[in-house]
Amino acid sequence: MTFAGRVWRLLVGIKDGLVLVFMLVFFALLFAVLTARPSPAQVRGGALVLKLDGMLVEEAQHVDPLRALLTGEAPLAEYQARDLVRALDAAATDSRIRAVVLDLDRFLGGGQVHVEAVGAALDRVRAAKKPVLAFATAYANDGLQLASHASEVWMDPLGGAVIAGPGGNQLYYKGLLDRLKVTAHIYRAGTYKSAVEPYFRDSMSDEARENYRSLYGALWSEWQAAVARARPKANIALAANDPAGWARASGGDLGQASLRAGLVDKLGSRAAFDARMVALVGADAWSDRLNGYASTELGPWLEQLPVSDTGAAIGVVTIAGEIVDGDAGPGTAGGTRIADLLDKALRDGNLKALVVRVDSPGGSVPASEEIRRAILRHKARKIPIAVSMANVAASGGYWVSTPADRIFAEPDTVTGSIGVFGVLPSFENAAAAIGVTADGERTTPLSGQPDFIGGFAPEMEQIVQGQVDRTYRDFLGHVAQARNMTPAAVDRIAQGRVWDGGTARQIGLVDQYGGLDDALTWAATRAGLAKSGWHAVYLGAPETTYDTILRRWLIEDGQAAGAVPRDVVGLVGDRQAAIGRRLQRDLSRLLGGAGMQAYCLECPASQSAAPPARGADPAGWLGMVAAILAKLG
């Protein structure tokens, strides 16, 4: 029996080992399938379909396959603007592509600079005598600006166009904090640094209002000019300035109103649009859809496009999203991650120039300085350094731009916001209200400080404000050295004030208009490289150029499970959801201990954070405050 038992245990062990091996192989294959790239074999010609079910971004976030599988969270679809431009430029010259389709039914926007860059690429497709057709149930600002570059703009008869220029209300929390008996300790340098106003005011200051009015006025003028250039016959003023009267003149039918104003060309269902595409590019024999037309998706199209690797290398480092401490990103500018990317490139020693692409409203001062110092280590090698500003390069986004030899921006870039702030809460009044007091023995004025329950000592307040003032002086010094100005001259245009790209160029914060390609060309010329003797290397860019199967599956599954319809009511609903996200973010900034910040609240990129992944916990600080208010009420 002993021998038989040993044999049995051996057989069981072999069986368990085989099961384990099988499971490892199974999950490895599953991981490989879900993270596989689209196949170039899927390119079938016909129409290149850009189904933009999400946002245009500078740098797409990574999807963690294992985390996504375990949580079931559907990521927001993100499309890198440079990928779309590359895809469209290739389509303009490739005989297999006979038309381009812009499916904007679930488009969430992307900032004026990105939209205009993709729009210019659409113009090049049309210049190659290839039609561009756009379709959506409803159009908002960014969607309408992008669609205006199409040769035919279609809209579902149930939809409409809603033109709402930049701007809107901010949230102010002084009344809430007073009710909760929370003391917000505000430290700032900069008269116009309004990022902390929500915590100690119940309305906008005159200085902030002046800044907002100037900035948003410039951005609105640029938007109107861009749409007017693309669609000269569109009556933008009527739809924007008297929207109620405009809709009433068409019996409340926004579709007809949009058609009469020249904002769209045709009203028709998706089936009618598809039939139009069949007439243009032919039917798809493999499609089981009504009026299925020959088409190629973005993913396979990008995968088969060649990427140049000949000639000298010019590095491009992307600083996109809020600047934070640590390894966060891509899509968020983790200071340590970006500095490590730059240092690795420095160790490799093969870059002939460096272009810093910035699309950030700023954030952590230490993280911004960590990135700036890493850029300066490249500058010490005497290679040309250029900064290319996208939608936003303000506050910390400008801090990291100061090492540049030349700064490029677009007229509708938002920049400046040279200022620093910090905000810390204390709860001595709230504690006293429920019978909690604090007492103790100190050896120095700073013993036990900062005391969030007992209150801040005056010495503590003075030291923190002193650090903020000192950091602001450092900021002025960095800008003064970079722009060949005196600190006093910088201070006159700083003070936390935000500027549009056109004004920033006039006052010396920007050198010239231009996009990323212009910055690369300048850097190559400055490095003495021949026109065709270089290529761009995106530091830290993922190997694949498009979403994984997992990401697309999660996105499509999330939409099928109940995404907001993309009609006019759906567009309004998105704005409502953004208010909750804004409230949660603002309270997190107060209560999260973020440290000194060089952050731009006024910047459009900071107005609406991306929607949280589906399945994410809706609690957090917002839920906590709601519970407290319920008890107080």
Q: What is the DSSP letter of 109?
A: B
Q: What is the DSSP letter of 128?
A: T
Q: Is the CB of residue 319 less than 8 Å from the CB of residue 397?
A: yes
Tell me the C-alpha to C-alpha distance, in Å, between residue 337 and each of 75, 366, 491, 530, 622.
22, 13, 31, 32, 30
Q: Is the CB of residue 496 less than 8 Å from the CB of residue 471?
A: no
| Phi/psi of residue 33, nearest 5 degrees | -65, -45
User: Following CA atoms 379, 384, 387, 388 in sequence, which dihedral angle do they give, to the nearest 10 degrees?
Assistant: -150
Exposure of 447 by Cβ count < 10 A (0-12 exposed, 13-18 middle, 19+ buried)? exposed
Q: What is the DSSP letter of 605?
A: G
| Phi/psi of residue 572, nearest 5 degrees | -65, -40
Query: 3-state DSSP helix/strand/coil percent for the chain, to nearest 5?
Result: 45, 20, 35
**Which of 472-475's residues contact partners 24+ apart within 8 Å by CB, and which partners?**
472/189, 472/190, 472/419, 472/420, 475/399, 475/418, 475/419, 475/420, 475/598
Q: How many CA atoms lie within 13 A of 237 on its CB side?
A: 2
Q: How far is the C-alpha of 276 from the C-alpha of 273, rounded, in Å?
A: 5
**Which residues are annotated as catalytic?**
193, 395
Instruction: Pull the structure tokens for residue 584.
Output: 């949660």
Burial 583-614 (b: 16+ CB within 10 A, else e): bbbbbebbbeebebbbbbbbbbbbebebbbbb
Q: Is the CB of residue 583 less than 8 Å from the CB of residue 76?
A: no
Sequence-distant (6+) residues with CB within 8 A of 368 are 323, 335, 362, 396, 399, 400, 598
Q: How far is the C-alpha of 216 from the C-alpha of 203, rounded, in Å?
A: 18
Q: Is the CB of residue 79 less than 8 Å from the CB of residue 339?
A: no
CB atoms closer than 10 angstroms to residue 131: 18
Number of H helices, E strands in the chain: 24, 22
